[in-house]
Amino acid sequence: MRTIRTIAEMRGWLGNLRAEGRSVGLVPTMGAFHAGHHSLMREAREEMDAVVVSLFVNPAQFNDAGDLAAYPRSEANDAAEAADLGVDVLFAPPVSEVYPDGFATTVSVAGLAEVLEGAERGPGHFAGVCTVVCKLLNIVSPDVAYFGQKDAQQVAVVKRMVRNLDIPSKIEVLPTVREPDGLALSSRNVRLSPADRERALGLSRGLNAAKDAVARGERDVLAVRTAATAQMGDVDAEYLAIVDPVSFTPLTTIAAPALILVAAQVGPVRLIDNVVLQPVPAPVAT
Ligand code: AMP
């Protein structure tokens, strides 16, 4: 596996591949790899001729300087893991390569990017995500870019950006990878103390309770939320929302597949998680 740090070198490497008509997959990441990242890389490896993994801790999407400073960084381990998974290139540019002097352009998605994570982390968060993802898609021009359902709103925002800007890459979304006890894998989990790790299980427990309630036939959002909060222990959610999975409009009744999303501060770490709520068909009147 090769590590590339400049856009010029990345384009040079891709030029040779394209000339041979090979397909390219991109997995955008901020590093500190875990099994969630691995699953995206594995899928890309299976489907594409060449796999590029980008590793860039994007300062533009952090609203909190402390969170950016504390973000785990482990490039040497990441490179070894990516190489083991058959990744061809780790694209790990420095900040000055992505945001050189004179950088003044921002890509933002209205509406969808302003609720939930957008409201909590501020309007700059998804603008930072979109700007860097747009740049990565322009630099690599992948046939397919791979994202995790763990960041459900990010997926919705990126898909909308790609559609609105006619970016010719397919966005493929893979399921959230969890620990056996349900905790969604996150690079931030390493900062949880054992006690906080235990409390953090409240997020997935709450989401699963909502999923079970909907699978049993509950369609009323208030009742589903109540079922979720009852299982969240002392986790104090920043938001617990049930929304349409494409528009992120809040729902009052669950009549079609919906998303329940939660964010909560647990000790030093802000965690997010979500699951799809799949309503059972309404009984047919006889
Ligand atoms: P990050 O490095 O946190 O920016 O994540 C890079 C990619 O991995 C994003 O598309 C995330 O949604 C995805 N990802 C992060 N955690 C998980 C997980 N537990 N399961 C599946 N994908 C994940």
pLDDT tens digit at each of 286 positions of the chain: 999 999 999 999 999 899 999 999 999 999 999 999 999 999 999 999 999 999 999 999 998 999 999 999 999 999 999 999 999 999 999 999 999 999 999 999 999 999 999 999 998 999 999 999 999 999 999 999 999 999 999 999 999 999 999 999 999 999 999 999 999 999 999 999 999 999 999 999 999 999 999 999 999 999 999 999 999 999 999 999 999 999 999 999 999 999 999 999 999 999 999 999 999 887 777 7
Ligand 1 atom closest to the Cα of residue 177 is 20
Burial code (b: 16+ CB inside 10 Å, e: under 16) for 57-91 equals bbebbbeeeeeeeebeeeeeebbebbeebebbbbb
Ligand 1 pocket, CB under 6 A = 29-30, 36-37, 39-40, 147-148, 150-151, 174, 176-177, 184-187
**Who's near 279: CB < 8 A, 6+ residues apart?**
214, 219, 254, 255, 256, 257, 258
**Per-residue pLDDT tens digits for 187-216:** 999 999 999 999 999 999 999 999 999 999
Tell me what pLDDT residue 123 has: 85
Atom 17 in ligand 1: residue holding the nearest Cα? 36
Query: Distance, CA 30 to ligand 1 centroid (Å)?
Result: 9
Q: What angle do CA 172, 2, 35 make, to 5 degrees?
A: 45
Question: What are the pLDDT digits (tens) for 27-79?
Answer: 999 999 999 999 999 999 999 999 999 999 999 999 899 999 999 999 999 99
Torsions phi, psi of 173, nearest 5? -115, 130
Nearest to 245 by CA among 179, 149, 163: 149
Question: Which amino acid is located at 235 in the chain?
Answer: V
The residue assigned the tokens 């509950």 is: 218
Question: Residue 210: what are its φ and ψ, rounded to 5°?
Answer: -65, -45
Q: What are phi and psi of 31, to 5 degrees?
A: 85, -165
